[in-house]
Amino acid sequence: MVLTRAGAGAARSNKVKAPFRILDLPPKIVGNIFEELDDDDLICVRQVFRAFEAHSSTPYGSRFFDHFIAILHPTSLAVLLEISRHSVWSKFVRKVTISGELIGVTIFPEHIDVQPHVALQKSVENSGMDVLVLAEAFRALTSLDIVRIDVASFDAAGYHGCYADGIKCGRVHMFQEEVGDRSWEDYPDLGNTRVYRLVFQALQRAGMQQNIKRSLQFCYMNDNQEISFFDVQSPPWTNVYSQSLRDVTYIASFNTGWMEKLLQSTTDIREVYFHENHEFITFPVGTDTIHLMANALSPQSC
């Protein structure tokens, strides 16, 4: 085949104008491109066609499946368990928060009859299924690195100074309404829940008590009552759990004796957040950062 000079130029011109296919790039580079997209664009790209969906799985999973928040309600626990069993998305879950909030106790959504939820929560507590479900979920999450226990992340995160950046398991199935602002007097025993002991039991049952870092929040507003959330002198705490505690949030005005014992029992704590307390407290040697919180959303490091 013989091409004239004009024909050769036209061929080169057509070759230059041919559209560049992003999928001709190595998969790693394609994935890096997707990582630079904002959330909305990343979601839209995944809906274009299957090849884009496959190439964007890693940035999508890392961004949206990194952290899950659940409460001790069967619907919320069921969603967490379903995620933990997913063959793709479960491997991206690195942090799970279990909140002690309960519908009808500290969560009162508008236009919702809370009594059925109260009954469900009580049923799962009495049967011990909450411990079993959590243990199975923890065991299935092979990339799990941090377990946080608090009493606010699911619904009252902003009000209590939690930064709830995770997916709230089952929230849209249980209720969608926001809960109005409530004063501290509405939560006389906000932090005195079984959630701490329960999660410790679940980690032990899953055989993961030594492999998971822990993040704890304590919240209680009763100046006249000394409280303990769990036994900080028990062998399981002193020998195992205390060694993996990395940060503590302390939003309270209760007696600091128990909190001081907890801090002194730790061996590798990195950060401590304080709010609503003005007593002296002794910190363990080696604590990296202490945050004095003037209000729930404004920590000041020292």
Instruction: Report the distance separating Cα 204 and Cα 20, nearest Å.
Output: 54
CB atoms within 10 A of CB 239: 11
**Separation between Cα atoms, residue 15 and residue 55, nearest integer Å:** 27
Residue 53: its H or E element: helix 50-55
C-alpha torsion 123→127→131→134, nearest 10: -60
User: How do residues 67-122 score in pLDDT, each as one tens digit?
Assistant: 999 999 999 999 999 999 999 999 999 999 999 988 988 888 878 889 999 999 99
- At which residue do the structure tokens 């790693």 appear? 28
Q: What count of other Cβ atoms lies within 10 Å of the Cβ of residue 178? A: 9
Task: Encode pLDDT of 12-43 as tens digits.
Answer: 555 555 566 766 777 777 777 778 788 888 88
Confidence of residue 301 (pLDDT cuts 50, 70, 90): very low
Site of tokens 């959504």 = 109
Mean pLDDT of the chain: 78
231 HSE (CA, 13 A, CB side): 5
CB 259 within 8 A of CB 241: no
pLDDT in tens, 169-195: 999 889 876 665 555 455 545 545 689
For residue 271, what are the β-bridge partners?
A: 247, 289
DSSP 190-253: TT--SHHHHHHHHHHHTT-TTT-EEEEEEEE--TT----SS-TTSHHHHHTGGGGEEEEEEEE-
Residue with the bigger pLDDT between 137 and 212: it is: 137
Q: What is the pLDDT of residue 253?
A: 59
- What is the widest separation between alpha-carbon atoms in the chain? 99
